[in-house]
Structure 1
Amino acid sequence: MEVYIIQFQNYLQQSGYGLSTQRMLPACVREFLEYGGFKSIVEISPGIIVLFYEWLHIRPLKYRSGALSGIMISHYVYALKVFFSWQESSDGLQYNPMSGLKFRRHASGRREALSVEVVEALFTAAISMREKVMLHLFYSCGLRRSEAEMLNVRDVQVRHRLLYVRSGKGASRRVIPLTGKVAGELGVYLEEYRKSGAVEKGAFMLNREGRRMSGSSYNRLLKGLVGRAGLWQGISLHYLRHSIATHLLQGGMSLEYVRDFLGHRHLEATQIYAKVGAHQLAVI
């Protein structure tokens, strides 16, 4: 069965998973295969997977006392999902034994995405061009707070409908395509609103004093907009980034495209930010 583990590791590497995931997922699958003592993966049934899942709740830790945490058990479930989905897609199995199985979701406290209706309510309530641009930067373009802070005029190419992120997380760079509407409104901001009172000529987004917008300034701007829209006060800038990722995936965008759009290095980072369907390797 070791050949399956090696092939699985190669698949994870080629698919862009992070190094820690390339180590952890095969280790989880190896433990499952050793638990069942299978001679071939075609012997694996949904029933034995359920037994393994139940056993994980009483399995002792290897190096200290205690049992596995809920989130670690979720990692095992995720590993098996990815493994069997890969086997099915590569014709290693005709039937995926994980299909139809549901397991308790670990309560991780992960933030939920905003609904499309809530996002539309925010855009409707935006009365200033600064508010509209803020929504475009964090929702339409999916920027991080630090990326919006560092954005410069030269980074927004309205004519070519492109936005350049030159100071992404981990010193990464990416190019974000703009829709016609977004490019148009960013262009209006540049031509009609930004020029007046600008103190810092290079910065794209300016505060009322004509200086580069800080993260705290963006937060205050959003809080005022949320309050005027009569929405939940817990909505933050990152909710907007999270939400566009979820909405793109729900609209049929591939996980790889959304990963590049958000500037993530690895696929699992994108899955944390967005709810995806089972066919996109999410844990049920």
Structure 2
Amino acid sequence: MKRLPLHTSTYQNYVREFSRHLQRLGYNQPSWESQPASLREFLHQMEQQGITQLESITPKHIQEHYHYLLERPNQQRGGLLSGSTVEGHLYALKLFFKWQETLGTIISNPISGLIFPRHTQPERAILTIEQINQLYAACGSLRDRALLGIFYGCGLRRSEGEQLNIADVQFRNQLLYVRQGKGKKRRVVPMGKQVAQDLQEYFYQERSQYLQKQTEDSQQAFMLNYYGQRMRGQDYSRKFKLLLQKAELPSSYSLHHLRHSIATHLLEGGLSLEQVRDFLGHNCLESTQIYTRISQKYLASQTYGNR
């Protein structure tokens, strides 16, 4: 939705400070941009009703906003907002009001006692071992193999791949360090022998070909794009789409599907939920358990092993 105007100076300040609060908590850039936008939309609606103080907001106002979101058009894709998008708006309000409650700005949290219907997530798609092998066969460079090693072999999130530095990869010990994962959580990811070899070969044999302008950031970054700069999310996604095309696989797959896939394959290979949780950097087992709900009939046809 377009940037909605806020005329109340305190509301404007809440949106600015909420963004900074999310950054301090360790949320990634998309979150500390989208969630303040959700708050802005809600506060704009409050202004339209003449409500210019947080203390005047009641649970009824939250419920009315929820029903408004259910009927609001999606201005980018048409139709209505998806269930997950509506949940994202509500999550932003929960974070904001909890924060204000902690600060003592409000005495009563208007959203704390409300319960909303949960959006049912569709079953997570994964790539089969055969499809993973197809991707490796389609690699045209050592960098392509390193990309698969980072997002499939190590299960990194896209934002974690962006932040990966040379100092974070230890070839001898076969360890990869995620210095700042989701929620600023750090973790150490063990690399399989082949993954470590792929990353090492890219680093020593090919990385220097991409290094052009030796800025401080490009010297530190492990993965470089065509222009010699740190690989960003769009760079990784573009390269992955090309790999999918070469491998004749559906273009609907994304980098995050590689993370889903390795999680499922590791569980099928015998790792415990706790081990996979630590590998992925989840805060709780509930986040990891979603991978156990993949159809057993589907997984029964897969064989996990070395490529």
Q: TM-score if structure 2 supplies the norm length?
A: 0.54
Secondary structure of 2:124's match?
coil
List per-residue Cα deviations over 1:39-64 (Å, max 9, x = no partner): xxxxxxxxxxxxxxxxxxxxxxxxx9
**Aligned twin of 1:223:** 241
**Aligned twin of 2:157:** 144
**Aligned twin of 2:268:** 250
Secondary structure of 1:195's match?
helix
For residues 118 and 275 of structure 1, do their structure 2 counterparts lie closer, same or farther at Cα, with a shift above 3 Å needed? farther
**Aligned twin of 1:133:** 146
Q: Percent identity?
A: 51
Task: Return the offset for 1:173.
Answer: 0.4
**Aligned twin of 2:209:** 196
List per-residue Cα deviations over 1:118-142 (Å, max 9, x = no partner): 1111111111111111111000000
Task: Return the offset for 1:111.
Answer: 2.2
**Aligned twin of 2:252:** 234
Secondary structure of 1:209's match?
coil
In the aligned structure 2, how far is the partner of 1:112 from the partner of 1:195? 36
In the aligned structure 2, how far is the partner of 1:126 from the partner of 1:239? 18
**Aligned twin of 1:98:** none
Moved over 6 A (4+): none
Secondary structure of 1:201's match?
helix
In the aligned structure 2, how far is the partner of 1:180 from the partner of 1:254? 21
Mapped pair 1:263 → 2:281: yes
1:164 to 168, 177, 186: 177
Q: TM-score if structure 1 supplies the norm length?
A: 0.59
Secondary structure of 2:288's match?
helix
Task: Return the offset for 1:193.
Answer: 0.9
In the aligned structure 1, how far is the partner of 2:139 from the partner of 2:182? 29
Secondary structure of 1:221's match?
helix
For residues 208 and 274 of structure 1, do their structure 2 counterparts lie closer, same or farther at Cα, with a shift above 3 Å needed? farther
2:123 to 104, 110, 119: 110
Q: Is the 8 A contact 1:249 1:276 kept in 2?
A: no
Task: Return the offset for 1:266.
Answer: 0.2
Q: Is the 8 A contact 2:277 2:285 kept in 1?
A: yes
Task: Return the offset for 1:166.
Answer: 0.3
**Aligned twin of 1:15:** none
RMSD across aligned positions (CA) = 2.0
List per-residue Cα deviations over 1:19-39 (Å, max 9, x = no partner): xxxxxxxxxxxxxxxxxxxxx
In the aligned structure 1, how far is the partner of 2:274 from the partner of 2:295? 14
Unaligned runs of 5+ in 2: 1-62, 64-118, 297-307
- The amino acid of 1:195's aligned partner reads S
Instruction: Work out the number of aligned pairs and report it.
Output: 175
Secondary structure of 2:219's match?
coil
